[in-house]
Structures are given as structure tokens and as C-alpha cells.
Amino acid sequence: MINTGIILNSSGNLEMEDAELIRLCQEGDMSAFESIFRKHQNRVYNVTYRMMGNQDDAMDMTQDIFVKAYQKIGKFNFKSSFSTWIYRIAVNHCIDELRKRKRNGQSVPLEEAITKADETTPEKQAVLNDRQQNVWKAINSLKDKDRSIIILRDIEGLSYKEISKVMKCSMGRVKSRIHEARQKLKKILEEQTELWNEI
């Protein structure tokens, strides 16, 4: 175990904690990397899950992403936060895998996650589930980069600045890409609605 007194600075800043852990990793401390993994694995898993569409792929790819991060940790230059850096690795890894599967003729599974039942009636819950499945079907039909930017902004809640660092483009370009992706998503959903109205 790592002494948390070494990791945390006087203000308890989480990014400083990451910086200390990364320095320890770069010095060969495996337990420091395990701490980074525990801290960031859920967020990476969430992005991977949304990109890939099922739990098994998300779990396997989350492991792969952290293996890549460990292999590249020596090159981390502290110019961005670790979370931005690991998001970039995650998104690029998912896009590469999705492209490879499409080239091989493999289908990409639909999002499995369904809104958990709360106090709504079974009938209302069924409608909510259908709507959510339709939204995810529409998201999954977007091109990989459009899908990733919708996931980062509208699902994971990253700021424009954070996304610009993940995507390595200007904030102006991020805003226009988000707008374009949302318009494409809106069009797909409208077409779905028209189709259902005709049936």
C-alpha cells in the first residue's frame, strides 16, 4: 500500500495526487499504478461501455486501455491531467477496435443498459426502456467520432475544454463537432419517429 500522506498534498488536490502517483509509477512503483487504476477504472469503463455496447467488451477493453497506459506512463509529460490522457487512450482504442470490427464484417452490439425501474408502473417503464433503446440505437448508428463526442459531452459530462484536450482540437472545433453530431442524432431520431408513426 502507498502512504496516502505522500500522495495527497496539503489541499488534498486530486490532480496533485495523480501527479504524485504517476511520478512513483515512472520510478517503477507498481502499487502506485494499481492506485491509479482503482481511481480511474470506473470512468474509463463507462466510456468504453458506451462506445462498445456491452459489458464483456467494456471489461476486456478497460483492461487493455490500462495496459497501454502502463506501457506509456514513462512518456506522460504532466502537460494535461491524467484523466484527460487516459480518456484519449480509451476513445482512440475504442475507435480503432470498432473500425477493425467493421472491416471484418462484425456487428457492433447495441447498448445493454436499460433505465432501472423506479416508482413508475411496468407500462411506463416499458415505454421508457423502448425510448432509451431507440436513443442508443441512434447513437450507435453514428460514425465513431460523432458517437465518441456525444458520449464525452452529453453522457460523461466533460467540459468543452476537457474534450478539446481529449480530441486534440480547438474548443471552437469541439463546439461545432458537438453541434453537428447532435444534429445528425436528431435527424436519426426524427426518422425513427416517422417510421413508427407509419406502422
31 with 72, same domain?
yes
* Structural domains counted in the chain: 2
Q: Look up cell 500522506; give the residue.
A: 5
> Among the three residues 83, 109, 135, which one is the final residue of a domain in this structure?
109
122 with 163, same domain?
yes
126 is in which domain, residue-wise?
Answer: 114-199
**CA 103 distance to own-chain centroid:** 22
22 with 82, same domain?
yes
> Among the three residues 109, 144, 172, which one is the final residue of a domain in this structure?
109
Q: Look up cell 406502422; give the residue.
A: 199
3 with 97, same domain?
yes
Residue 199 in this model has a pLDDT that exceeds 80: no
Residue 65 in this model has a pLDDT that exceeds 60: yes
The CATH number that applies at residue 135 is: 1.10.10.10
101 with 158, same domain?
no
133 with 93, same domain?
no
Kindly report, residue by residue over 43-52, the tens digit of the pLDDT: 999 999 989 8
C-alpha span between 142 and 135 (Å, rounded): 11
C-alpha span between 48 and 109 (Å, rounded): 13
Contacts of 44 (CB under 8 A, 6+ apart): 62, 65, 66, 86, 87, 90
Q: Would you state the pLDDT for residue 2?
A: 32
Q: Would you state the pLDDT for residue 141?
A: 86
Determine how many CB atoms are found less than 10 A away from the CB of residue 35: 21
State percent of the chain over pLDDT 70: 76
Kindly report, residue by residue over 163-187, the tens digit of the pLDDT: 999 999 999 999 999 999 999 999 9
> Among the three residues 85, 109, 133, which one is the final residue of a domain in this structure?
109
36 with 118, same domain?
no
18 with 101, same domain?
yes
Furthest C-alpha separation in the chain: 64
Residue 193 in this model has a pLDDT that exceeds 90: no
21 vs 67, 113, 198, CA distance in Å? 16, 33, 57
Q: Would you state the pLDDT for residue 126?
A: 59
Kindly report, residue by residue over 137-159, the tens digit of the pLDDT: 888 889 989 999 999 999 889 99
State the amino acid at position 138 in one-letter form.
Answer: A
Choice between 13 and 64, residue whose per-residue pLDDT is larger: 64
66 with 148, same domain?
no
105 with 160, same domain?
no
The CATH number that applies at residue 2 is: 1.10.1740.10
- What is the model's pTM? 0.72
Contacts of 79 (CB under 8 A, 6+ apart): none
